[in-house]
């Protein structure tokens, strides 16, 4: 007999670069003091360190939701900050995780929320990354494709000009490519009548093309780590993060993303109550695609580009927050 959903562990899920957009979480910023407090603390830290206001850039009134939000110096720390603040908001309202789940940048979010690395140290390290990438990595991008992994090897164009850097679900993959190859890659995807979306990122992360950043990232972005309050499941390792891994920061940026395999591992362990902390809500959709029909697991997104985040937050709290 499957376990009751109320007995399953609560898992906070954190997404990687590409989940960001202008005005993400704007209603939480306006109406939730705890969320606003953490956003302001992070904004001040990055302003003092790099002279950039994440709040002004992210919530620019002249920007529309649909405008590309792709300036890495802003989006990298902003995406971390929004997810961290949302996790703190959930905890303030009484929802505490039993474990955390991160993919790419989301692994760093999970490490900070868990207490493996302090908020200030991790946000500072995240804010320092974009200049390193700009110096050491060629321009490029990531493309999310609704297709099985085999499509990359089956196409001569894709095999020659891309790397398969993520398998998020049975029919959801991520390809990396250099900037000069992106038009040809997209033409090939259209020719094959595949649905795809270029993600708002400036480099081909998780691929061989960022290997030039390895030495700098190993030296500058690997802060000391503690055990943490909760385990952080890595979509790179398909296992909880081992804090003793010496090159962990580099491996998170370089290794392929295995969301499907990681969710399946958690399901094999009995399932979970997944809370998608990411701004886009995409993590929730990917998890649902992987769950078996008979799974006892439940999935809740907290944020969405379509708005309604306060109502969605209340729905999650009603389902998970302990009653007095």
Strand ordering across the sheet containing 196-198: 163-169, 172-178, 140-145, 196-198
Which residue among the candidates 6, 7, 53, 104 is catalytic per the annotation?
104
C-alpha span between 16 and 234 (Å, rounded): 12
- Is 104 part of the annotated catalytic residue set? yes
114 touches 104 (CB < 8 A): no
Tokens of 296: 């006892």
238 is written with which tokens?
Answer: 């398909």
The side-by-side arrangement of strands in the sheet containing 10-14 is 239-240, 232-234, 99-102, 10-14, 273-276, 298-301
In which element (H, E) is residue 173 found?
strand 172-178
E strand residue ranges, 196-320: 196-198, 232-234, 239-240, 273-276, 298-301
User: What residues are annotated to the active site?
Assistant: 104
């Amino acid at each position: 007999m499957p376990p009751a959903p109320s007995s399953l562990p609560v898992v906070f899920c954190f997404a990687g670069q590409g989940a960001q957009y202008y005005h993400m979480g704007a209603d939480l910023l306006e109406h939730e003091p705890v969320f606003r407090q953490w956003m302001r603390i992070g904004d001040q830290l990055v302003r003092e360190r790099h002279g950039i206001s994440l709040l002004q850039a992210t919530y620019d009134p002249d920007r529309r939701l649909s405008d590309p939000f792709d300036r890495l110096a802003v989006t990298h720390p902003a995406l971390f900050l929004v997810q961290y603040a949302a996790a703190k908001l959930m905890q303030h309202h009484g929802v505490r995780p039993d474990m955390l789940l991160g993919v790419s940048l989301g692994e760093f979010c999970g490490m900070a929320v868990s207490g493996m690395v302090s908020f200030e140290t991790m946000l500072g390290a995240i804010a320092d990354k974009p200049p390193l990438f700009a110096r050491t990595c060629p321009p490029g991008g990531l493309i999310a494709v609704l297709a099985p992994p085999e499509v990359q090897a089956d196409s001569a164009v894709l095999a020659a000009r891309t790397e398969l850097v993520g398998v998020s679900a049975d029919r959801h993959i991520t390809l990396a490519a250099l900037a000069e190859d992106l038009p040809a890659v997209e033409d090939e995807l259209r020719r094959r009548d595949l649905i795809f979306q270029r993600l708002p990122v400036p480099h081909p992360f998780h691929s061989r093309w960022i290997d030039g950043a390895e030495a700098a990232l190993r030296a500058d972005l690997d802060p000391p780590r503690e055990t943490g309050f909760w385990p952080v499941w890595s979509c790179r390792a398909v296992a909880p993060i081992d804090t003793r891994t010496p090159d962990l920061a580099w491996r998170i940026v370089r290794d392929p993303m295995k969301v499907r395999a990681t969710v399946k591992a958690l399901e094999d362990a009995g399932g979970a109550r997944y809370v998608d902390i990411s701004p886009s809500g995409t993590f929730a959709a990917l998890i649902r695609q992987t769950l078996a029909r008979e799974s006892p697991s439940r999935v809740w997104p907290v944020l969405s580009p379509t708005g309604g985040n306060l109502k969605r937050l209340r729905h999650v709290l009603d389902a998970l927050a302990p009653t007095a």
